[in-house]
Amino acid sequence: MNAIEQLLNHPDVRTTPLSDGLKIRNPATGDTLAYVRTTSVPQLNHIIAKAQTAQTEWAAKSALERADILWCWYRLMKENKENLARLMTMEQGKSLAESLGEIDYAAGFIRWFAEEARRIDGDILTSLKPTQKLMVIKQPVGVTAAITPWNFPAAMITRKAAPALAAGCAIIVKPASQTPLSAYAQAVLAYRAGIPQDLFAVVNGKAADISNTFTQNPIIRKISFTGSTEVGIQIFRNSAEHIKKLSLELGGNAPLLVFDDADLDKAVEGTMLSKFRNSGQTCVCTNRVYVQAGVYNEFCRRLAVQAGRLKLGNGLDKGVQQGPLIDADAVAKVEAYIADALEKGAQCLTGGRRSPLGGTFFEPTVLSGATADMLLAREEIFGPLCPVFKFESEAEAVAQANRTEAGLAAYLFTRDTARQWRVAEALEYGMVGINTGIISNEVAPFGGIKMSGLGREGSKYGINEYLELKYLCLDIG
């Protein structure tokens, strides 16, 4: 067994076809990588029941014991970093450099929440009566469930599983059907670290059936979902009957504002990073770039040069910066946005078409002359297409940036300190990058406002999503 096969040494993963299983393919080559067993609804209910027993035992352990096991999982992730990254590139398509970065990011959540596990502290409140002692303790929510997307096959899982396990919860993860192998590999390492299999289960199958089981089974007390706003709304609605706790990390439509006084090199570099990371397929990817009139032409010129230099190819090949898009639908969507924008007056400065590499490779594209009536101004592009809008005043830029129901991430580039504060406060987003295009890390609270979701992941706040407050009133009179 080679190192990657060892990571996939899970009873639900096979190299031979499974009659009712999922076929997992490499989007760069079209090769079949593995087959994954699907879980029926009765099997899932059985897994949930076993998770309940495992959770009771896990919650009874000391915080230190849980933290030590999480530390061990973290170290195994780091020791297997190279192979986890290769596996991710094979099933997802992103460049190996990005996959290596994601494994560090994913492992970072495990380390962070191993530390936080020891600080789930309560409170003693100032009582109204001398004979009463008022206290607040924090307890695990119980059995939780996660549904995750394909664009970050490792980090979207540890961002949920690590705080859940640290808090004393069980978690059942349903990864995206295109990228379940990274989920199984992480589970294999978690089991090696001492996390019981029933406490952290990975399941696959028809997404709606799994999700409905999560929302209908009363043992599941919380669902954490990362994915599209459309599916998030369904889960929100379906969770009403049992009043499930919810975390929803949904779609974005991130604006990036470049003012006349910006450091233009930094602004172009930040735009490149925030737009073209993962071929434009991240929820915090810049969707709309607004540039002030004085630097508009020069910014567009420099951005087009940089975008045109990006190297496309199989993410495992040396020097490749951009992999393929996840599937044919993603390519068709990007093409439709470009056609609509060109018809409404945009100019294509670079790219604009499928790559000669074939498959789902698409050329990094920059469009100037973007306007608010174009589809790409309203919808999440999720691909390597960067539209650049022109603005005159700060007030106009802020108003345009806020013209969306999404509220996940926003970026601005300016050297003026007063403007940095003023604009950051005026932007209706959960996260704002100032003079940078990369903002995610385990220390910071990740999450959106408006239609981009509920709750925060990572940071000192993230563990609260898996804890219930309990108030105790003790009368000693």
Q: Single out the catalytic residue among 102, 249, 363, 394.
A: 249
Closer Cβ to ligand NAP, 285 or 467, answer by number: 285
If one asks whether residue 441 binds ligand NAP (CB under 6 A), the answer comes out as no
68: three-class secondary structure by DSSP: helix
Pairing of strands 200-202, 347-350: unpaired
Strand partners, 124: 135
In the set 29, 139, 234, 371, which binds ligand NAP (CB under 6 A)? 234
* Start-to-end CA span in the chain (Å): 68
Distance CA 415, CA 262 (A): 5
442: which residues sit within 8 A by CB, 6+ positions away?
A: 105, 108, 109, 111, 112, 159, 458, 459
Please, what is the minimum distance in Å from the beta carbon of residue 225 to ligand NAP?
7
By CB under 6 A, residue 408 contacts ligand NAP:
yes
SS3 percent helix, strand, coil of the chain, rounded to 5, is 45, 20, 35
Tell me how many degrees the CA angle 326-327-333 measures, rounded to the nearest 5. 100
CA dihedral defined by 274, 399, 370, 376, rounded to 10 degrees?
Answer: 70
Question: Is residue 228 part of the contact set for ligand NAP (CB under 6 A)?
Answer: yes
Q: Which of 172, 69, 168, 159 is nearest to 107 (CA)?
A: 159
- Contact (CB, 8 A) for 288 and 254: yes
Using CB under 6 A as the criterion, what x/- string covers residues 184-213 for binding ligand NAP? -----------------------xx--x--
Measured from the CB atom, the residue of 228 and 435 that comes closer to ligand NAP is 228
Which phi and psi angles does 35 have, rounded to 5°? -120, 145
Q: Is 396 a catalytic residue?
A: no
CB of 227 to ligand NAP, least distance (A): 3
Count of residues in contact with ligand NAP, rule CB under 6 A: 28
How far is 401 from 411, CA to CA, in rounded Å? Answer: 10
Q: Least CB distance from residue 155 to ligand NAP, whole Å?
A: 9
φ and ψ at residue 467, rounded to 5 degrees: -125, 145
Q: Which residue stretch of 38-46, 58-66, 74-82, 143-151 sits at the interface with ligand NAP (rule: CB under 6 A)? A: 143-151
Pick from 21, 27, 108, 251 the residue near ligand NAP by CB under 6 A: 251
Instruction: Tell me: does residue 249 bind ligand NAP (CB under 6 A).
Output: yes
316 burial via Cβ count (<10 Å: 0-12, 13-18, 19+): middle
**Does 283 contact ligand NAP by CB under 6 A?**
yes
Sign of CA dihedral 213, 157, 361, 3: negative
250 binds ligand NAP (CB under 6 A): yes
Instruction: State the nearest-atom distance from the C-beta of 457 to ligand NAP, in Å.
Output: 7
- 150 contacts ligand NAP (rule: CB under 6 A): yes
**Sequence-separated (6 or more) residues with CB below 8 Å from residue 185:** 7, 8, 80, 84, 87
* Site track for ligand NAP across 1-40, x = CB under 6 A: ----------------------------------------
* Cα 198 to Cα 194: distance, rounded to the nearest angstrom: 11
151 binds ligand NAP (CB under 6 A): yes
Which residue in 80, 182, 226, 404 binds ligand NAP (CB under 6 A)? 226
User: Which residue number, 201 or 250, has a Cβ lying nearer to ligand NAP?
Assistant: 250
CB of 215 vs ligand NAP, minimal distance in Å: 9
Sketch the per residue contact string, 54 through 93, with ligand NAP: x for CB under 6 A, - otherwise.
----------------------------------------
- By annotation, the residues acting in catalysis are 249
Which residue ranges make up the site for ligand NAP (CB under 6 A)?
147-152, 174, 176-177, 207-208, 211, 226-228, 231, 234-235, 249-252, 283, 380, 382, 408, 448, 453
